[in-house]
Amino acid sequence: MHNTYESPLTKRYASKEMSFLFSDDNKFTLWRKLWIALAEAEKELGLNITQEQIDELKNNVSNINYDVAKEREKQTRHDVMSHVYAYGVQCPKAKGIIHLGATSCYVGDNTDAIIMKDALLLIRIKLLHCINNLKEFSLKYKALPTLAFTHLQPAQLTTVGKRATLWLQDLISDLELLNFCIDNIKLLGVKGTTGTQASFLELFDGDHEKVKRLDEIVCEKMGFKEKYFYVTGQTYPRKQDMFVLNCLSSIAQSAYKFSNDIRILQSLKEIEEPFEKNQIGSSAMAYKRNPMRSERISALARYVVINSLNPAITASTQWFERTLDDSANKRLSIPESFLAIDGILNLYINITSGLVVYPKIIEKHIYEEIPFMATENILMEAVKRGGDRQELHEKIRIHSMEAARMVKEFGAKNDLIDRICNDKDFGLAKDEILQVLKPENFIGRCKEQVEDFINKIVDPILKNIEIERIDVEINV
């Protein structure tokens, strides 16, 4: 037991990999790598920095002396300068050139951008895993008829696989947006206190070309060649955070829709999420098999969608070259959105890896409704045999209303087909009508649509991508 609050996102939902990306160890190690990149670039451009100093910085990049930084911060109330001091304690020869010419946002903002990109790359792996799972599910059930709903009322038929392509198509859209974000995340670079690079211009005795090269060299060393903002205030534009969290929100929206559909399908007993051998569905009702993982997706997705408002408001309210009302908000909204979406995708992977389909229940529900859906086909067949279209349409309407009334008011079986068979004006035998009632006659191009979508859209995305096996850890 712990006597202080622990975030359930790290304790219960997110993976160790995502939690590490937003950990202090990763953050402060990146700060040190950025200080090394800055010193190396400044040395390459002619400042009086020795290789011995840089080697000393590199030798201490990972063994962060948190105790020294913590004590120093009590005095200075400044986290960056406390870590500059702590690094200098470990690197006495280099302490004078650490953070040379930079402002706090040099390490803070560049680190945030690097972490976000790494986190998006992890999200991409998991999103591709979900896409692959749904692809296989769609193909497996591409021809299995099922009731389609509009307004949550039975409408016509679709197939289980075709419905899954709707979930899949949402994820494809998310992947396109995710790829855009990954390709377009930019570093702040080396800009100085208000973005004018004045301090660096002074360091290089007014040499503008060297200051420009400093930006280029540092960003390239950090893996962002030609990916940095040309103009900024003290920080990178906060719209970058808004773009990223909107992308996470989009993934959450897709997962939310999927989870709601699964929850309804599980209530209908047509499709169930995986259920562990010793899993307990309810503390009171031992027979229950609740869609707990889908419900958890819904809960976390709601959080991510709402959280995307934070950077939008922050981006709108930054004054001139910078204000600090972004900092505390960023510390919460960005990591927690990533941790939550990571948890969502862990659940999505788990559910789509083991969805259980019950064809007999699906078929039962179809035959409860298909007589109503078949009325147009029956009408056309009767008209071909000489019947009056308008008269027969009215008769079918009356028979349908009465059959529906019997089902709803008395719980009776749907006897619409028997009513039509017994009406001599239709001139159709029961076996002829039953031929019309075959579910596969009502699924249109579902099977072909699934195949076309997979072949033309999904497979080209997955081609040459090895879907990494992910053993997601979730609390069931």
* Helix pair angle (389-410, 375-384), 10° resolution: 150
Identify the bridge partners of residue 228 per DSSP, sorted by sequence position: 187
Identify the bridge partners of residue 145 per DSSP, sorted by sequence position: 159
Is 259 annotated in the active site?
Answer: no
Is residue 351 within 8 A of residue 273, CB to CB? The reply is yes
Is residue 128 within 8 A of residue 112, CB to CB? The reply is no
Q: How would you write 59-124 as a 3-class SS string?
A: HCCCCCCHHHHHHHHHHHCCHHHHHHHHHHHHCCCCHHHCCCCCCHHHHHHHHHHHHHHHHHHHHH
Catalytic: which of 2, 151, 316, 399?
Answer: 151
Cα 273 to Cα 263: distance, rounded to the nearest angstrom: 9
CA triple 300-303-306, angle to 5 deg: 150
Is 282 annotated in the active site?
Answer: yes
Catalytic: which of 19, 282, 316, 365?
Answer: 282
Task: Look up residue 130 and give its two tokens.
Answer: 């979900």
Cα 189 to Cα 236: distance, rounded to the nearest angstrom: 9
Identify the bridge partners of residue 157 per DSSP, sorted by sequence position: 147
Cα 303 to Cα 306: distance, rounded to the nearest angstrom: 5
Q: Which residues are catalytic?
A: 151, 282
